[in-house]
């Protein structure tokens, strides 16, 4: 694997972080769309995305995004109904998708209501059949948005938990070590094949893990193994998450 470009930006609080991200999203998407017809973005669930995706749905940002040319995928999903409060799809639908005009064909969700061993293949094929390829035979997302847990997990890739039913090094079945809940996740390999990978992290409970990943033993945590082969890796941090850097 080649060396990678990594940078991080510290922003005073989570609300300014959301504001910064929304502006970044508009500018980056429009820049990419000067070179290609469509953009393929993988979204994460969690508390921090609730803030920055809600900000993105505000009219002052949303009006400048050509939503008909953006395809949304999910980084991971709990195996629950799409109406379940634990569904990443439900969260993103309510705070963003329901508030913008975007073609239904541009929304590529993980179907948490399907048996994991079947959905891991169906969703993997969804990625293969839609996401473009340039450098290699594997699909290359234009942008993957990630969070991080205080235990160092990202997507549904957990420390000391083996992924199962790995499909074409793109998707896999995972299980939460805390709840035992089954999930579908993109793999490290496909995330590392993206053009841009952005961690958006807030909260003091992440500070020690953030310090270790950015300045310490990156291999200690799944999040530290996110190391784009050809793309750019960036961290957007609020002051609390960056307090030990």
CB of 227 closer than 8 Å to CB of 4: yes
Entry pTM: 0.95
Q: Is 54 within the bounds of a domain? A: yes
Does residue 244 belong to any structural domain of this protein? no
Query: Does residue 199 fall inside a structural domain?
Result: yes
Q: Which residues of the chain register pLDDT less than 70?
A: 1-6
Q: β-pairing, 196-201 with 143-146?
A: parallel
The pLDDT score that the predictor gives to residue 6 is 60
**In a domain? residue 63:** yes
Edge-to-edge order in the sheet of strand 182-186? 76-78, 182-186, 171-175, 164-167
How many domains, in total, are found in the chain? 1
113 within domain boundaries = yes
Q: Please tell me the predicted confidence (pLDDT) of residue 120.
A: 98
Q: What is the CATH number of the domain that holds 10?
A: 3.40.50.1360
pLDDT digits (tens, 9 = 90+) for 10-37: 999 999 999 999 999 999 999 999 999 9
Is 220 among the domain residues? no
pLDDT, residue 33, reads 97
Q: In which domain, by residue range, is 30 found?
A: 5-215+225-238
- Please say whether the beta carbons of 32 and 142 come within 8 A: yes
197: nearest Cα among 237, 141, 130: 141
Residue 150 within any structural domain of the chain: yes
């Amino acid at each position: 694997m080649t060396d990678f470009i990594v940078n991080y930006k510290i922003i005073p609080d989570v609300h300014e972080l959301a504001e910064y991200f929304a502006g970044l999203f508009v500018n980056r998407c429009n820049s990419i769309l000067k070179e290609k017809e469509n953009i393929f973005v993988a979204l994460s669930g969690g508390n921090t995305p609730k803030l920055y995706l809600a900000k993105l749905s505000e009219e002052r940002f949303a009006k400048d995004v050509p939503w008909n040319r953006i395809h949304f995928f999910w980084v991971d999903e709990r195996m629950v109904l799409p109406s379940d409060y634990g569904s990443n799809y439900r969260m993103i639908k309510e705070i963003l998708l329901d508030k913008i005009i975007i073609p239904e064909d541009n929304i590529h969700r993980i179907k948490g209501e399907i048996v994991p061993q079947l959905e891991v293949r169906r969703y993997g094929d969804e990625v293969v059949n839609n996401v473009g390829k340039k450098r290699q035979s594997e699909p290359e997302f234009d942008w993957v948005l990630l969070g991080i847990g205080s235990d160092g997990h990202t997507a549904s890739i957990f420390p000391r938990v083996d992924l199962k039913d790995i499909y074409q090094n793109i998707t896999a079945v995972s299980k939460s070590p805390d709840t035992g809940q089954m999930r579908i996740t993109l793999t490290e390999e496909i995330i590392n094949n993206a053009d841009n990978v952005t961690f958006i992290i807030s909260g003091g409970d992440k500070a020690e893990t953030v310090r270790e990943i950015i300045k310490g033993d990156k291999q200690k945590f799944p999040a530290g193994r996110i190391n784009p082969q050809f793309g750019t890796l960036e961290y957007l941090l609020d002051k609390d998450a960056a307090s030990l850097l």
